[in-house]
Amino acid sequence: MDRRARLIARARQGYRLAYGAEPTRFFAAPGRVNLIGEHVDYNDGYVLPCAIDRETIVAAGPPAPETRERLFEAVALDMGEMLSARDSFDLVAPIRRGENAWENHVRGVVQAIGRYGHRVRPMRIAIAGDVPIGAGLSSSAAFGVAVALACSEFSGLGLPPEILAKVAQLAENDFVGCACGIMDQMASAAAVADHALLLDCRTLQTLPIPIHEGLAITVIDTGIRRNLTESAFNQRRAECELAAAHFGVKALRDLDLATLEEGAASLDPVLYRRARHVVGEIARVEPVGVALAQGNTALLAEVMREAHLSLAQDFDVSLPPIDRLADLVAEALGEAGGVRLTGAGFGGCLVAVAARDAGGAIAEALERYNIGADIPATAETYRPASGAAPILLPG
Ligand code: GLA
C-alpha cells in the first residue's frame, strides 16, 4: 500500500469507528514548503511556495438519519486519543468557537463559508493527515483547505481554489487566533504538480513555475518546536503594519528601497529592519523563480543565502542552532544549490533547493551538525504536488 492509500484507509476506518457507517467521498489537500518570499504574504507581496506530497485526507458522508436537519460532526484522527477528538455543532444556530485548535479549524471553515453567503449541509467527516505538525509545512492549512473542499463539494457549492483558501484563512484568523497571511492556503488549494506557485498575495493571481528536472527540494527539519510562534508571528505582522503606516503606504509591498532608506532616520530601528527584510525579500522572488525554471543552482545558492541572513538578522525569526545548520548545509552545497529557513521560523525547517546529486552533501552536513546538536536534524526530499482535489476511488 502506498502512502496515500494508507491514509485513505485510516480515514475510512476512523469514519467507520466514529459513526458506524461508510464514508461516501474522500477529499485531499497538501502541505507546502515555501521556496522564497517569507513573511511577505501579509505585506501583499509575491511568494513562491510549492505543495508537498504530504496531505490531509477527509472522509465524508451524510449525517445520521435522526440529525439530518442540523448537525455537522467531525472526528480528527491525529488529535487526542483514539476517537476522543470528536466535535459536533448545530448548523442552524450561530457557530461559536470550540475548545481547541482543530475544532476551530473545522467550525471556522463552516462559519466562513456562511459568510460568503453559502450554506454547508449537515454531514459527517473523519480527518487524517501525514503533514508533519508544527514543522512549518502548513499542516493547519492542509487541514483547513481539505475541510473547506469537503464542505464545498458535499454541499454542491463548487467553490474555486481562491475561496477555499480564503475560508481556511478566515478560520485561522478569526477562530484559531493566528493572523496568518494567504500563502499556505493558496499553495494547498491551487498548486500544480512539479511546479512552484508564483502568487501575488494582493490580487491572488497565480503563475505555476516549472521546477527544472535537475533540481530536488529537500526539507531539513531542525526538530526545534516553539510554542510562542503565534504570538511572535502576530507581533511581526503588527510591526510590518506600523512600518507601512509610517511611510503612508497601504502595505510594505508599496515601499521601495530608496524611500525606505530616505525615511530610515525617523523610523524606529526595529521597524526599519523588519521593512528592509520585506522589501528585499519581495525583490528576491523573481530571481529564484528564474533560477528554479532554469536549474541555475549558483543563483539559488546566492539568493537563498541572502534570504536566510535577512530572516535571521533583520526579521529575527531564526535561532542560533538553525543558523549553524544553514551555514553547514550552504558550505557543503557550494554552488550546487541554496538553503534557507522556511515558514514562519522560531524553529521548524530549512529548505534546500539543490542539484539532485547533491543529496550526499546535505546528508554529510547533517551528520556534522548532529554530532553536537541537542536535537538531531533530519532531511526528507519531497515531490512538488498538486493542490486540493476530490479523490476518485475505483468502483
Ligand atoms: C506562516 C503563515 C504564512 C506566512 C509564513 C511566513 O506559514 O501562515 O501566512 O506568513 O508563515 O512567510
188: nearest Cα among 28, 390, 79: 28
Would you say the CB of residue 230 lies under 6 angstroms from ligand 1? no
Using alpha carbons, list the distances in angstroms from residue 382 to 53, 134, 225: 6, 17, 21
Phi, psi of 376 (to 5 degrees): -70, 140
Q: Is 240 in the pocket of ligand 1 (CB under 6 A)?
A: no
* Catalytic residue list contains 184: yes
Residues 102 and 137: their CA atoms lie apart, in Å, by 16
Does ligand 1 have an atom closer than 6 angstroms to the CB of 42? yes
* Coil, helix or strand at residue 132: coil
Cα 39 to middle of ligand 1, angstroms: 6
Tell whether ligand 1 has an atom less than 6 A from the beta carbon of residue 38.
yes
Ligand 1 centroid, distance to 184 Cα (angstroms): 7
For ligand 1, whether the C-beta of 183 sits within 6 Å is yes
pLDDT score of 227 = 65
| Cβ–Cβ under 8 Å, residues 110 and 91 | yes
CA 12 – CA 390 distance, rounded (Å):
15
Distance CA 152, CA 363 (A): 43
Predicted confidence (pLDDT) per residue in 179-197, tens digit: 899 999 999 999 999 999 9
Letter for the amino acid at 27? F
Any idea what the Cα angle at residue 163 is, between residues 157 and 164, rounded to 5°? Answer: 80
Catalytic pick among 184, 254, 268, 323 = 184
The residue among 235, 311, 247, 305 whose CA lies nearest residue 278 is 311
Residue 62 Cα distances to 9, 92, 95, 254, 317, angstroms: 19, 17, 20, 48, 44
Ligand 1, closest atom to CA 138? 7
Nearest atom in ligand 1 to the alpha carbon of residue 42 is: 10
Nearest atom (ligand 1) to Cα of 37: 12
**39 in contact with ligand 1, CB cutoff 6 A:** yes
Residue 385: beta bridge partners? 51
* Cα of 115 from ligand 1 centre, angstroms: 23
CA of 34 to the centre of ligand 1 (A): 9
CB of residue 142 inside a 6 A radius of ligand 1: no
Q: What is the largest CA-CA distance in the chain?
A: 68
pTM of the model: 0.96
Per-residue pLDDT, 225: 85
Whole-angstrom distance, CA of residue 357 vs CA of residue 387: 27
- CA 192, 31, 308, 229 dihedral sign is positive
Quick one: pLDDT at residue 372? 85
Q: 272-303, pLDDT tens digit by residue?
A: 999 999 999 999 999 999 999 999 999 999 99
**CA-closest residue to ligand 1 atom 9:** 181
Task: Answer whether 239 contacts ligand 1 (Cβ < 6 A).
Answer: no
E strands in 189-299: 195-200, 206-210, 215-221
Centre a 10 Å sphere on the Cβ of residue 50 and count the other Cβ atoms it contains.
28
User: 343 CB less than 6 Å from ligand 1?
Assistant: yes
Q: Going by C-beta distance under 8 Å and a sequence separation of 6 or more, which residues neighbour residue 82?
A: 17
**How far apart are the CA of 378 and the centre of ligand 1, in A?**
22
Return the residue whose CA atom lies nearest to atom 11 of ligand 1.
344
Mean pLDDT for the chain overall: 95
DSSP 115-126: HTT--PPPEEEE
Separation of 180 CA from ligand 1 center, angstroms?
6
What is the rounded distance in angstroms from the CA atom of residue 207 to the CA atom of residue 307?
Answer: 22
**Among 181, 78, 93, residue whose Cα is nearest residue 138:** 181
For residues 322-350, b (16+ Cβ closer than 10 Å) or e, as one string?
bbebbebbbebbeebbbbbbbbbbbbbbb
Ligand 1 contact via 41 beta carbon (within 6 Å): yes
pLDDT in tens, the chain (395 residues): 799 999 999 999 999 999 999 999 999 999 999 999 999 999 999 999 999 999 999 999 999 988 767 999 999 998 876 667 999 999 999 999 998 889 999 999 999 999 999 999 999 999 999 999 888 899 999 999 999 999 999 999 999 999 999 999 999 999 988 889 999 999 999 999 999 999 999 999 999 999 999 999 999 999 998 765 678 899 999 999 999 999 999 999 999 999 999 999 999 999 999 999 999 999 999 999 999 999 999 999 999 999 999 999 999 999 999 999 999 999 999 999 999 999 999 999 999 999 999 999 999 999 999 998 999 999 999 999 999 999 998 76
35 alpha carbon – ligand 1 mean position (Å): 12
Query: Which atom, in ligand 1's list, is nearest to the CA of 178?
Result: 8
Closest-lying ligand 1 atom to the alpha carbon of residue 38: 12
